[in-house]
Amino acid sequence: MIYNSIIKGKFISRPNRFIAYAEINGKEEICHVKNTGRCRELLIPGTDIILERSDNTNRKTKFDLISVYKNGRIINIDSQAPNKIAAELLPKLFPHYIIKPEQKYKNSRFDFFMESENNKAFTEVKGVTLEKDNIVMFPDAPTQRGVKHINELIYAVENGYDAYILFIIQLSGVKYLIPNYKTHPEFGEILNLAAQKGVKILAYDCIVKENEITADKPVMVFTEK
């Protein structure tokens, strides 16, 4: 996944989930934040950031905030990136499957439906940006929607489908991934139950550059508290 018209800046503040103020070329600019999560450990005043300039003249904001520097490492926070990365990765992991995006099942709309001669599967994608001591955690804020999706993936397995949760870790060089039981214990519990019920849990880190992000290596996932 490649970004165009990249520019560097410094983070100033985030008055709400959707916008932030950044210093770009010595001038304060308003920009769109491509992540509605908290990102509190990343969006710290004075932090170096990477933005993409929009070519849409009708937009109120000229820039999208896409990445943040943390301890010399770039962390991509674009919430649209994981599904695009997954769309590139899944055909490599499942070369004999027909893969279609956005498939409704029961009361959920899963990110991908995959079908081979003998199997049908749903895949739900989650982007991960929360890191501490090279250990990554999900979620960074309570997600009832995430709990609902996992419950219905379990139901799909019980009804003969394969099911996958694919965590796209939007940074590199991590040790492993764990559920964030402290922030949302219910999510951790349902993820652990899903692993026991046959939902397959995958995680991949990414090579993150200033203008590019690409899936890289598999990462271990530990679901137990």
| pLDDT tens track for 91-131 | 999 999 999 998 888 888 899 999 999 999 999 999 999 99
Q: Is 119 helix (H, G, I), strand (E, B) or coil?
A: coil
The rounded distance, in Å, linking the Cα atoms of 178 and 165 is 13
Last residue of a domain, one of 33, 57, 76: 76
Please write down the HEC assignment for all residues of 35-68.
CCCCCCCCCCCCCEEEEEECCCCCCCCCEEEEEE
User: 215: domain CATH number?
Assistant: 3.40.1350.60
57 pLDDT more than 80: no
Percentage of the chain lying above the pLDDT 90 cut: 83
113 membership: H or E segment, kind and range: strand 108-115
Range of the domain at 130: 81-221
Quick one: 53 and 89 in the same domain?
no
- Determine the pLDDT at residue 55: 82
- Determine the pLDDT at residue 1: 86
User: 22: domain CATH number?
Assistant: 2.40.50.580
175 pLDDT more than 90: yes
pTM of the model: 0.94
- Determine the pLDDT at residue 61: 87
Type of residue numbered 96: H
- Residue listed under structure tokens 């304060």: 28
Q: Is 145 helix (H, G, I), strand (E, B) or coil?
A: helix
Quick one: 138 and 205 in the same domain?
yes
Last residue of a domain, one of 32, 48, 76: 76
Mean pLDDT on 136-158: 94
